[in-house]
Amino acid sequence: MNGLRCIPLINGVQPSWANLEVNIGGFPIVGITKITYSDKETMNNIYGLGQHPVARGYGNIESTCSITLLRSTVERLRHMSLTGRLQDIKPFDIVVCFIPINGSRLIIHKIRNCQFLGDGLEISQGDTKNEQTFEILPSHIEWH
């Protein structure tokens, strides 16, 4: 097996949606059905003598985020804005925390200085659940 040890379970717990807690601007959010976030760093090989890179250059880190919220949560968030527009809410942090259970470890990610890029409503006849996905502009992500 290439000298690698395979350990099938570590404390028997995989972080999952069931032990997730999300805070927006310091308030716990229960009307969230999806969150996606990532960061990407510009990296380039630098060539000198020969055919292979002699160094690597590093550039900007770009963070992205989107959240899907139930309509009732969206309307509550509007109260954080003087105009009612989500884009006019002052920059806020989103804290994503996996609460430890059965000996698992605490995992905390902080999505910093977020702002909504848009606002809107989408609802159709027959909908029993109204949710909307919003693009968020963060400054950076702290992966603890």
Three-state DSSP class for 90? coil
Instruction: Please indicate, yes or no, if residue 1 is contained in any of the structural domains.
Output: no
Residue 61 sits at φ, ψ, to 5 deg, of -110, 125
Instruction: Please indicate, yes or no, if residue 94 is contained in any of the structural domains.
Output: yes
Q: Give the helix/strand (H/E) hosting 74.
A: helix 71-77
Instruction: Please indicate, yes or no, if residue 48 is contained in any of the structural domains.
Output: no
Q: What is the pLDDT of residue 1?
A: 46
Indicate the number of domains in the chain.
Answer: 1
Please say whether the dihedral angle defined by the alpha carbons of residues 72, 78, 84 and 86, taken in this order, is positive or negative. Answer: negative
**pLDDT (tens digit, 9 = 90+) per residue, 116-137?**
999 999 999 999 999 999 999 9
Q: Can you give the residue range of the structural domain that contains 70?
A: 22-34+63-143
Instruction: Please indicate, yes or no, if residue 83 is contained in any of the structural domains.
Output: yes
**pLDDT (tens digit, 9 = 90+) per residue, 13-62?**
677 888 899 999 999 999 999 999 999 999 999 999 999 999 999 999 99
Instruction: Please indicate, yes or no, if residue 46 is contained in any of the structural domains.
Output: no
Instruction: Please indicate, yes or no, if residue 26 is contained in any of the structural domains.
Output: yes
Instruction: Please indicate, yes or no, if residue 54 is contained in any of the structural domains.
Output: no
